[in-house]
């Protein structure tokens, strides 16, 4: 079974802090994704990566960056956290660009 | 108008009932359709994956796609309390590329004893 692990379930950060959200998958998947999930807005794609060192902007990349130094690890970075980045963040992976997504259990981030 | 519309619920049904969950969409290019189940404080997990129109059955779950009406449904037979979760529909165009997935906002289902 594919396992996508997000290092933190809950995080509380202050406005202006630099925040790192970590995601690791254990199935040697090429493709990894970061979404945020907000009530009434559903899942929105922030960034994705089809290969190590490669990254592509999703639908809402502003205020975020990503890092993929190793195939199994995909990090989301909030350069300067703001209150409107309070959300549930979900990491996902897939074996090919067309395969269904496997999600982690999410990190609920609160920025105060 | 959102590309994918889904009633947020909550939908409350008694155990054993047949549940119908629905999504409508506006983009006629969508060809791959998915249903994800998300338990509270968990990530979404894939339930059903269908291509184009028609029905697909998997145990108590049936996914139905009507492309002419731009309408998809998920039916749950003999619903159980363990089916209580939020159900998300998702769809994508002919490339099937995950980065182009469009999700509904989810319907919260509660199955009561």
Residue-wise DSSP of chain B: --SEE-----EEEETT--EEEEEEE--TT--EEEEEEE-TTS--EEEEEEESSEEEEETTEEEEEETTTTEEEEEESS--GGG-EEEEEEEE-TT--GGG-EE---EEEEEE-
Pick the CATH number of B4-92 from 2.60.40.10, 2.130.10.30, 3.30.1330.40, 3.40.1000.10: 2.60.40.10
**B33-73 residue pLDDT tens:** 999 999 999 999 999 999 878 899 999 999 999 999 999 99
Confidence of residue A35 (pLDDT cuts 50, 70, 90): very high
Region A63-84: mean pLDDT is 96
Cross-chain CB nearest to B43 (options A45, A94, A106): A106
Q: Where in chain B are the domains?
A: 4-92
Region A93-109: mean pLDDT is 92
Region A81-92: mean pLDDT is 98
How high is the pLDDT of residue B96? Answer: 77
How close, in Å, is residue B62 to chain A by CA atoms? 18
**A5-23 residue pLDDT tens:** 998 999 999 999 999 999 9
Q: Which residues of A touch B63 (CB under 8 A)?
A: none
Domains and CATH numbers, chain A: 4-111 (2.60.40.10)
């Amino acid at each position: 079974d594919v396992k996508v692990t997000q290092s933190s379930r809950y995080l509380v950060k202050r406005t202006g802090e630099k925040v790192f959200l970590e995601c690791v998958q254990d199935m040697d998947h090429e493709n990894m994704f970061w979404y945020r999930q907000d009530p009434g807005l559903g899942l929105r794609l922030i960034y994705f990566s089809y290969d190590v060192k490669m990254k592509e902007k999703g639908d809402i990349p502003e205020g975020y960056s990503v890092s993929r130094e190793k195939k199994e690890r995909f990090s989301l970075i909030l350069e300067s956290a703001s209150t409107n980045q309070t959300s549930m963040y979900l990491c996902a992976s897939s074996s090919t660009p067309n395969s269904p997504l496997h999600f982690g259990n999410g990190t609920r981030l609160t920025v105060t | 108008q959102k590309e994918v519309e889904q009633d947020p619920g909550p939908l409350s049904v008694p155990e054993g009932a047949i549940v119908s969950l629905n999504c409508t969409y506006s983009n006629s290019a969508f060809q791959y359709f998915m249903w994800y189940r998300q338990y509270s404080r968990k990530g979404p997990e894939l339930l059903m994956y269908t291509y184009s129109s028609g029905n697909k059955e998997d145990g108590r779950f049936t996914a139905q796609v009507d492309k002419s009406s731009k309408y998809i449904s998920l039916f749950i037979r003999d619903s159980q309390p363990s089916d209580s979760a939020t159900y998300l529909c998702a769809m994508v165009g002919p490339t099937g590329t995950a980065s182009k997935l469009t999700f509904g906002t989810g319907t919260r289902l509660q199955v009561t004893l």
